[in-house]
Amino acid sequence: MGRSAVMAPVPSKLYSDDVSLLVVLLDTNPFFWSTASLPFSKFLSHVLAFLNSILLINQLNQVVVIATGCNSCNFIFDSSSVPANPNLENGRMPALCSNLLQKLEEFVTGDEKLSKEVLAAGIGSSLLSGSLSMALCYIQRVFRTGPLHPQPRILCLQGSPDGPEQYVAVMNAIFSAQRSMVPIDSCVMGAQHSAFLQQASYITGGVYLKPQQLDGLFQYLSTVFATDLHSRRFLQLPKPAGVDFRASCFCHKNTIDMGYICSVCLSIFCKHHKKCSTCGSVFGQAQSDGNSATDRKRKTPET
Amino acid sequence: MNDMEHRKTNDGKGRRLDGEEEEEEEDEDEGNGRGLDAWERAYADERSWESLQEDESGLLRPIDNKTIYHAQYRRRIRSLYSSTTTARIQKGLIRYLYIVVDLSRAASEMDFKPSRMAVVAKHIEAFIREFFDQNPLSQIGLVTIKDGLAQCLTDLGGSPDSHVKALMGKLECSGDSSLQNALDLVHGYLNQIPSYGHREVLILYSALSTCDPGDIMETIQECKKSKIRCSVIGLSAEIFICRHLCQETGGSYSVALDESHFKELLLEHAPPPPAIAEFAIANLIKMGFPQRAAEGVISICSCHKEAKVGGGYTCPRCKARVCDLPTECRICGLTLVSSPHLARSYHHLFPIPPFDEVSLSLLNNPHQRSSRACFGCQESLLIPGNKPTLCVACPKCKQHFCLDCDIYIHESLHNCPGCESFRHSKIVSVTEE
């Protein structure tokens, strides 16, 4: 790399192509982890070893961890922030471990408390849209720091199934990531494939993987997801077998490959209807000042 | 009281009139005698150094462009949001837009560097890409005006590259400009599109006159009857006929002051305009959602008529292979889209409300722990000295955000991180409605 010849290190010379900022979205949904084949503690040990290896690959690499809970999301760890305890060195083990684990524990207990106040509606999915939005806001902040910044990417470690009520928000986040050229990698640990993450990785140019053996998670993480964006051009990373872009109809939630679209609100129907259930427009006639009440609700494929 | 007010308004009016006259005279003087350019005027008249300020210790305070920029942006967002929600105007999502480029003699003027035509072409390219990004189901066509005649450069289509290539190949200007010919041509084409589409024309007009074969007022009335929304962006000066056209058809008229202003005005036409309800008939459009073929499959694609390996899409009705979406199947005519294309427009239907500014008195309250860092990017909201800076809060989830996150959330992300990160707040908002 030729860094040894410089006497006083000039930052621009150290910023080679492969400096990366990795934002990890960690799924902490207890409803998933209680039934998963890999216990949460073992999973954390794989992830911590992986995060440490990222920080070792390049001294300027940065890691940020955001926890995706069942009722809330929050920042857990940022390797570039000043540690609370000045005795422990910045960003290196064991500071990485203890800081991260402590904050994660606080987050999980807080998340669980919120669960008691909330009705059990739509439980089973975690708030992926929230953590994706927070990750993208953080990445925008990194872009604002100037021309020299690490190449950001997002890694979703997701186990919970997709929540259909988050469809619009997740798609908004995906398009924003595509515009900012931030790839979204996905490692799905649940039983089924995640359609949201397949589309996310396809649209943004990231890697989608569903590991077959969860015991070897660290190997999957370090061989597939550890490489920076510049080096990915030289590697053969797993390509998805097929991405399902079919839509689901608003009336029955079936996946359809031919359907009818309302020209006003773009809702998808599988059969011909006289009236659109989302926006209230009557088809075939000039519309009146439609159904105003239905505009307000966040209409998603579920409702 | 009334007399006083009356006198005041008279004085005000009198003074204003005088002031206007003086300004006009000054302008004429400058126009005739001194001929100052805008950059010269910044030194001679506007004296930009006088807007610098000093703080208590005598050091120069930098001009805070950030808050000015943010204030402008907030005004724009507020006006957009209030007009759409209070009037319950829906947006026209399926748009058929014709861009009319004026390539008459006036387009070779060099007040925009290197020439008006080059600047227009460059920004049209950016506009086309932004337009298809925000309106994936819409189509654009290009028309040019040259030598008093209007010609169709590209037909209505959904592929940005073909339009851009055609435009870049035809950049020569000569002759007069004819507004009526352009409108007649566009009117003829737009009459053929399906009834659920919104018909729009965007005219980029450089000339100061128009040479028409007949009565342009009749043409304008016909456009109005066919519900075509015509907007004009002028590059030289305001022209009455353009203003009349836009007023009659419900479009917007603006004149660009310089290149960056032109870019801003042009990009304002990218998001869907508020649709006037009677303009387009609601209809159910039959569309297909093709699956992506597996990587190793070899088939003959219907758009290029040659064998291709893997990576295409299969039309669900006739099983023909197409290369990319959205497109119309060449064999059976079915519109083929993927669900992300539809999802790109959903944020127009579910906009997030503008964030409210947090008053500084609330920020100084020691109980407000949440305002220490921006919820989205974790940037500290306190400047050194523990004084809080300006921040905004979402009216629904009450989380605090910094100004840059506010702009990013409303212009690009269209999700409030606070509302998305709390399941409780989601359920509250649904039950409230």
Looking at this protein, which amino acid is placed at residue B155? D
| Residue B387 near residue A99, CB atoms below 8 Å | no
pLDDT reported for residue B142? 94
Q: Name which of A136, A166, A296 to mutate to probe chain B: the one with the most chain B Cβ atoms within 10 A of its Cβ.
A: A136
Interface test with A, best of B369, B397, B423 (most A CBs within 10 A): B423
Burial of A169 (0-12, 13-18, 19+ CB in 10 A): buried
Residue contact A246–B289, C-beta within 8 A = yes
Q: What does the pLDDT read at residue A188?
A: 94
pLDDT at B74: 73
Query: 29-68 in B: which are within 8 Å (CB) of A?
Result: none
Which helix (H) or strand (E) is B205 found in, with range?
A: strand B198-205
State residue B180's pLDDT score. 93
User: What is the model's pLDDT at position B430?
Assistant: 39
Q: Residue B27 has what pLDDT? A: 42
Other CB atoms within 10 Å distance of the CB of residue B421: 28
Does any CB of chain A come closer than 8 Å to the CB of residue B344? yes
pTM: 0.78
Distance between CA atoms of residues A135 and A183, nearest Å: 12
- Are B57 and B98 within 8 A, CB to CB? no
Alpha-carbon span B154 to B269, nearest angstrom: 20
On chain A, the residues whose CB falls within 8 A of the CB of B378 are 75, 78, 138, 141
Pick out chain B residues at pLDDT < 70: 1-35, 42-43, 46-48, 50-51, 53, 55-56, 61-67, 78-90, 276-279, 360-371, 384-388, 424-433
**Selected residues 99-118 of chain A with any CB under 8 Å from a CB in chain B:** 114, 117-118
Do A172 and B415 make contact, defined as CB atoms within 8 angstroms?
yes
Residues 11-30 (B) with a CB less than 8 A from some CB of A: none
Sign of CA dihedral B63, B64, B69, B74: negative
Predicted local distance difference test score (pLDDT) of residue A206 = 93
What gap in Å lies between CA B383 and CA B390, rounded to an integer?
A: 10
Residue B143 pLDDT? 94
Can you give the pLDDT at residue B62? 61
* CA gap B339, B248 in Å, rounded: 37
Please answer yes or no on whether A283 and B282 come within 8 Å at the CB atom.
yes
The pair of three-digit structure tokens given for residue B259, joined into one six-digit string: 């290149």
Q: What is the pLDDT of residue B17?
A: 41
Q: Give the A window 174-233 contacts with B, CB below 8 Å.
A: 174-176, 179-180, 199, 203
- pLDDT under 70: residue ranges of chain A: 1-15, 82-96, 116-123, 285-303
